[in-house]
Chain A
Amino acid sequence: MSDSIRRHQDYVAGKFKLVDRVEELLERIAVNSHLNAFITVFSRRKLLDQAAALDRRIEQGQKPGALAGLVIAIKDNISFRGEPLTCASRMLTNFIPPYHATVVEKILQADGLIIGKTNLDEFAMGSSGETSHFGPVKNPWNLERVPGGSSSGSAVAVRAGLADLALGSDTGGSVRQPAAFCGIVGLKPTYGRVSRYGLVAYASSLDQIGPMGKSVGEVAYLLQNIAGHDPRDATSVLQEVPNYVKYLKTHPHHLRVGLPRQYFPEELDPEVRAHIEKLVAALKEQGVRFREIDLPLTEYAVPAYYIIATAEASSNLARFDGVRYGLRRPAPDLFQQYSRTRSEGFGPEVKRRILLGSFVLSAGYYDEYYRKAQQVRQLIQKEIRQAFREVDVLLTPTTPTPAFKLQEKTADPLQMYLSDVFTVTANLAGICALSVPVGVTSRGLPVGVQLMSDFFREDRLFILGRSIEKCTGEV
């Protein structure tokens, strides 16, 4: 049973008071402020009022929602009515949205307590937590190292015990990569599994909100409570949400697991390779069947991803023009107002992606870049579909290396982009993928293993993920 389910049951059984838990977490957040995990922590009074109200309901013997007793942090690109929604950008430092994201509504309906908004790469554009307007997030395992990104603060909050669970968003690996770097579990659900309503779009066709927790069970439990069709998101899928938690006890021996050669290149960090190989051996002993497979299109995934994602981003971020909300730098004429507002409001990485995206969509280049990238995407989807005829799950490293040093890759965007090499395929294909901790390197940095499965087969990820936890003794 997962920590969270146990905590929830303890709470319902009256074993602790939520007000005490909130006090404890607020203190932990204060003590760990050097990690820079949060952009906004909600007001102590509001949190305690909410906690006390729930505590009273428990005392009165009412049956609360499934997330009662759990404290959740959400990435600051997810809208919470009445609280700042900054996206870690100067552009939105003063923006307070009048609406909840659907996931927020679902958490509140299930009596979960949301404690605050976590730091991220600006507009979720980055792989290290360093592009935030509010400064870089630090990896609790080693303060010289990045926590990964862009859901940096959410991963750190879970690892450092500043919240029970967290939500991130994953466009090219933004949940899984920081989960791997921080030694926690992170899921990118199937595209359409979780409503995107209220998630500030980076690349709409790739974005998906994902749960993060210390164990596979916690992640399954949180997914259970945020998934489902939403009439406000046309891309969310009308498909029943299964009881994911039930799969945590299923033995994995029926699963056929594929090891794609392209995910184990020469350059792969030797310690990462060693951990994965050890894991595979242990799973084999449990009767899991492995086979090597080929995914030759893998090398085209990163370029296709950065064309499609930036194209969509260039359009999604056009609304930040200083006219209706957010930063405005007045100027004598309209063009100058746009130019000054956007020049001062966006950081360099965001500008780089807007420029790149505008370029690949422009007349004369569209066919050469955007259309071609879409064709590559379709081929990758076909290749992945084919793979899932032969295997149930693909097992790969989540990242080619453990957490790198702060500023190690900021000067070289291409190197930074290549840290997504193993994660972007799941987004391009729309399938689900999970990162699970598999061990720690000699330098004391966590290593993550990535599991990918077919559309709406999160159950398989949880079955295999749970058995990985048993092998590695993490939980």
Chain B
Amino acid sequence: MEFEAVIGLEVHSQLLTDSKIFCSCSTAYGAPPNSQTCPVCLGMPGTLPVLNRRAVEFALKMGVATHCQIASFSTFARKNYFYPDLPKGYQISQYELPLCRAGWLDIDLPDGKRKRVRIRRIHLEEDAGKSIHDQALAGEQTLLDFNRCGVPLIEIVSEPDLSTPAEAHAYLVALKQILVYLEICSGNMEEGSLRCDANVSVRPLGTAVSGTKTELKNLNSFRNVERALAFEIERQIALLKQGKPVEAETLLWDADAQQARPMRSKEEAPDYRYFPEPDLVPLEVDPAWVERVKRTIPELPEEKKNRFRQQYKLNDYAAQLLTVRREIADYFEALAKRCPDYQLAANWMLREVLRVVNERKISLQEFPLSPQRLAELLQLILDRVVSQTAAVTIFEEMLHSRKSAGQLVDDLGLRQISDEQQLAAVVEEVLARNQKLAEQYRGGKTKVLGYLIGQVMKATGGKADPVLVNRLLREKLKTT
């Protein structure tokens, strides 16, 4: 019997507000432990939460971007459980009436098809602190850092619309892209600003049976999500094939061992005793607020990709890569505005600009070359002042020079040799040295032309106009 998986994801995303959700402490990552705390986020007796409106606004952005219905009236609730990094003994979350519900998101599948994934709900909540178990630092003791405690989160819960680990991956990629585009989440999984739990069950292919589902936790990278799902789906199918039942349980993914280990059974699942948070008044969002938020939503990756394909005549691949992040797309558009050859601009973005950015692990804001300066260089290529090869050399130089591309052409002596006589001499010389190849060419083995062009380029230190070299070589090979 063939089986298929039914997967739903719960994604926690830290919001990039300056201050925490219920107090004015900073949310900056990486500060010394417990330096960003106050009586409110430490849950000291008598203190009270006050809702950060900016966190609500960010959650609304995500709700609008994923086509959710925005609740004009939503409430906060307490999720009660004991844990040392949860100072109040409860997490303030939303339960019965979340801020956003019933949305959707289209994702691109690896086979080129598209799929609509429904979003069940998006709600606001506060993050907990961090427990640190570090043998070297504290032996058997647990250390607590409350800097993260009270950082605003949204939890985005999908419907169980995903069928394969690859789809789950594609969904996460799309979700992260939107979050980052909206500038409401850094999307950094290593820093924990994006976290994912998965619910998964399997059923005979093509049926509507709902199998027993398990929950996977600790999926701390996109790759781990895919691997853990693959592992768990395989495990469940193997059980069913042996005629054994799947137990409803929560599993913890062990990335080192590449396997999921049981954490607790359904019977052991905690009773969170949710009830309405009496310290906060219900959250009211009027249509005018939603309208204001709508106006701030930028062009999202999906629309931008489609526009790039049409407006700049780019292929899917280039359009996809150039819209991965907003800053890349913005840089490209600034460049394209000054460079009539969009394909050339796209190639330079993908081959050179992104290479440097990735090598140096910097953002495009930190990239030393403005689109204007790069456009000047590309113009030199278009004007056949420099060759592509020489342009790369100039580009490298520009990264740590204030000089313009035009200046550097001369400083580096890279002006393209377009003088026909001068080049004809070099061509003759190269052919003289490679008579055998010339023979082969004439004998129909035209592939050798590339090698010969390379030889001419080499002889001219890469400065020869390749178009001209090409023509001269062909002519000479024909005539002699």
Seen from chain A, the residues whose Cβ lies within 8 Å of a Cβ on chain B are: 77-79, 85, 87, 92, 95, 97-99, 101, 196-201, 203-205, 231-235, 311-312, 314-315, 317-321, 323-325, 334, 338, 358, 361-363, 366, 370
Contacts and interface: CB of A to CB of B under 8 A. Distances in A.
Interface stretch (B86-94, B113-121, B159-167): B86-94
29 contacts: A79-B45, A87-B45, A97-B44, A97-B46, A98-B44, A101-B46, A201-B45, A201-B46, A205-B278, A235-B48, A235-B281, A312-B275, A314-B80, A314-B273, A315-B89, A318-B82, A318-B89, A318-B90, A319-B45, A319-B87, A319-B88, A320-B45, A321-B84, A323-B87, A324-B42, A325-B44, A334-B84, A361-B274, A363-B271
B44 A362 contact: no
B39 A98 contact: yes
B101 interface: no
Contacts of A85: 45-46
A428 to B, nearest CB: 13
Contacts of B89: 315, 317-319, 321
B441 to A, nearest CB: 80
A324 B48 contact: no
A361 B275 contact: yes
B49 interface: yes
Contact of B50 (A77, A201, A232): A232
Interface string B56-99: 00000000000000000000001010101001111000000000
Contacts of B18: none
Interface string B123-167: 000000000000000000000100000000000000000000000
A234 B49 contact: yes
Given A234-B50, A234-B279, A311-B275, A92 B45 contact: yes
B278 A204 contact: yes
Nearest to A196: B48
Contacts of A196: 46, 48
B176 to A, nearest CB: 32
Contact of B48 (A92, A234, A315, A319): A234
Contacts, number: 103
Contacts of B44: 97-99, 319, 325
A198 B43 contact: no
Contacts of B363: none
Nearest to A205: B278
B350 interface: no
A196 B39 CA distance: 15
Judged by DSSP, the binding face of A is loop
B47 A198 contact: yes
A-B residue pairs, 9 tightest by C-beta? A318-B89, A205-B278, A361-B273, A204-B278, A200-B45, A198-B46, A200-B46, A79-B46, A319-B43
A77 B84 CA distance: 24
A86 to B, nearest CB: 10
Contacts of B78: 315
B273 A315 contact: yes
Which one of B44, B49, B51, B84 has the greatest number of beta carbons of chain A within 10 Å?
B44
A198 B278 CA distance: 16
B280 interface: yes
B152 to A, nearest CB: 16
B37 to A, nearest CB: 10
Given A99-B39, A318-B89, A319-B87, 16 more contacts: A79-B45, A97-B39, A98-B39, A197-B47, A198-B47, A204-B278, A231-B50, A234-B51, A235-B48, A312-B275, A315-B89, A319-B44, A321-B84, A321-B89, A324-B87, A358-B273
Interface of B: 39, 42-51, 78, 80, 82, 84, 87-90, 144, 271, 273-275, 278-281
Nearest to A312: B278
B46 A197 contact: yes
A204 B280 CA distance: 10
B129 to A, nearest CB: 10
Contact of A232 (B42, B48, B87, B273): B48
Nearest to B142: A334
Given A97-B39, A97-B46, A99-B44, A370 B275 contact: yes
Contacts of B88: 318-319
B82 A321 contact: yes
Contacts of B273: 314-315, 358, 361-363, 366
Nearest to B275: A361
A316 to B, nearest CB: 9
Contacts of A98: 39, 44
B50 A99 contact: no
Contacts of B280: 234-235
B46 to A, nearest CB: 4
B364 to A, nearest CB: 39
B48 A197 contact: yes
B270 to A, nearest CB: 10
A204 B279 contact: yes
A184 B241 CA distance: 78
A426 B146 CA distance: 39
Contact of A234 (B39, B45, B281): B281
Contacts of B80: 314-315, 318, 361
B46 A199 contact: yes
Nearest to B273: A361
A290 to B, nearest CB: 36
A366 B39 CA distance: 31
A204 B273 CA distance: 16
A384 to B, nearest CB: 19
B124 to A, nearest CB: 14
A201 B280 CA distance: 13
A324 B41 CA distance: 12
Which one of B47, B49, B80, B87 has the greatest number of beta carbons of chain A within 10 Å?
B47
A406 to B, nearest CB: 28
Contacts of A312: 275, 278
A133 B128 CA distance: 32
A314 B281 CA distance: 20
B94 to A, nearest CB: 15
B93 to A, nearest CB: 13
Nearest to A198: B46
Contacts of A320: 45
A201 to B, nearest CB: 7
Contacts of A235: 48, 278-281
B43 to A, nearest CB: 5
A97 B90 CA distance: 21
B48 A233 contact: yes
B237 to A, nearest CB: 31
Contacts of A199: 46
Which one of B39, B48, B144, B281 has the greatest number of beta carbons of chain A within 10 Å?
B48
Nearest to A363: B271
Contacts of A201: 45-46, 279
Contacts of A317: 89
Which one of A233, A317, A318, A324 has the greatest number of beta carbons of chain B within 10 Å?
A318
A203 B275 CA distance: 13
Nearest to A100: B46
Contacts of B48: 196-197, 232-235
Nearest to B50: A234
A221 to B, nearest CB: 25
Contacts of A363: 271, 273
A466 B420 CA distance: 112
Contact of B84 (A311, A314, A323): A323
Given A199-B46, A319-B43, A324-B42, A362 B271 contact: yes
Nearest to B39: A99
Nearest to A91: B45
